[in-house]
Amino acid sequence: MNHALGPLCMKRDGWIKKPNGIWLLKFRYGCESLDQNPKVDVDKGKLECNGITLLKSRKKMPRNLAMDLWRNLLGAGWTRVGPPWD
């Protein structure tokens, strides 16, 4: 299934932004992503006006749940964006 901005599947790392909002989510494989139960780190943050990153939260979740979250948020209008921070 394709979304207007591309496929709904999550690549290795990815960024999505809340529609008409300032919050971004960064999805990235954690250190233990190569084992039998891969995990994904999901960081929530925003870029302040002065260019400093505000990291609000970080969650580690199983890959399948992270992919479901990615798909659901894209379906709810969130959009893919480039990395505003590393």
Domains along the chain with CATH numbers: 7-80 (3.10.450)
Question: How far apart are alpha carbons 66 and 81 in whole angstroms?
Answer: 17
CB 66 within 8 A of CB 40: yes
Tens of pLDDT, residues 26-66: 998 766 555 677 889 999 998 788 878 788 999 999 989 99
Question: How far apart are alpha carbons 58 and 55 in whole angstroms?
Answer: 8
Question: How far apart are alpha carbons 8 and 73 in whole angstroms?
Answer: 10
DSSP summary character for residue 35: S
pTM of the model: 0.75
CB 54 within 8 A of CB 46: yes
Q: Mean pLDDT, the chain, as a whole number?
A: 81
